[in-house]
Amino acid sequence: MDRGYPGDSAVRFVSDHRRLPEEERFILQRIIVPANRALLRMAKTLRQQDLRDREVFVDGYNTIITTHSLLAGHPVYLCDDGFLRDTRAFFRSGRELQSAAGALSEILDLLASARPSRVQVLFDQQISRSGEMAGMVRRMMAARGLLGEAECARDVDHLLKACGSIVASSDGNVIDAAAAAIDLPGEIARGHSVRPLLI
């Protein structure tokens, strides 16, 4: 990729050559980032203490799923751009919705201690039970005195790219378009001394 090959083609070529299974190919797609792009993302990455008195837009499912994976002991990978990413998807049932509460508590506790001016949490409207998730976040934010809102939207990525504020997401396209970004699961991992997987 550093030689200019498209990402999908580079991963396919290496994976075919090494005869990697589908799961390992997907992991490579998630973690490998060209060096120049990785450095640009690192340059705009903030830490918890940088959020004070600033507005933060949170990529709801992206951040919660990675944090849940981290705390539950599922594989979470430290990627070339310094962000943590996992390879899971959930929130298809009420049980999974409840299991998100622990991850949400960690995320919102961290944000409350960082004291931003406002927090906006966005959930993909097309995903089942997103309204319930947004409602749970609103109640948990109110309990912590966090100013802001949690809502569902049709095009979360577009809103995050256009917000003009700090974004909390590990989505590479969102980070590339943002002026500044924070890896909330990464901050939580440091606070819990959890070591992500390295490839």
| Domain layout of the chain by residue ranges | 1-32, 37-192
The SS3 assignment for 153 reads: strand
Q: Please identify every stretch of the chain with a pLDDT value under 50, giving residue numbers as ranges.
A: 93-94
8 A C-beta contact, residue 58 and residue 44: no
- For residue range 28-75, list pLDDT tens digits in order: 999 999 999 999 999 999 999 999 999 999 999 999 999 999 998 999
pTM reported for the whole predicted model: 0.93
The SS3 assignment for 117 reads: coil
Instruction: Please give the CATH topology (third level) of the domain spanning 37-192.
Output: Rossmann fold (3.40.50)
d(CA 130, CA 61): 9
d(CA 170, CA 168): 7
Crossing angle (nearest 10°) for helices 94-114 and 130-144? 30
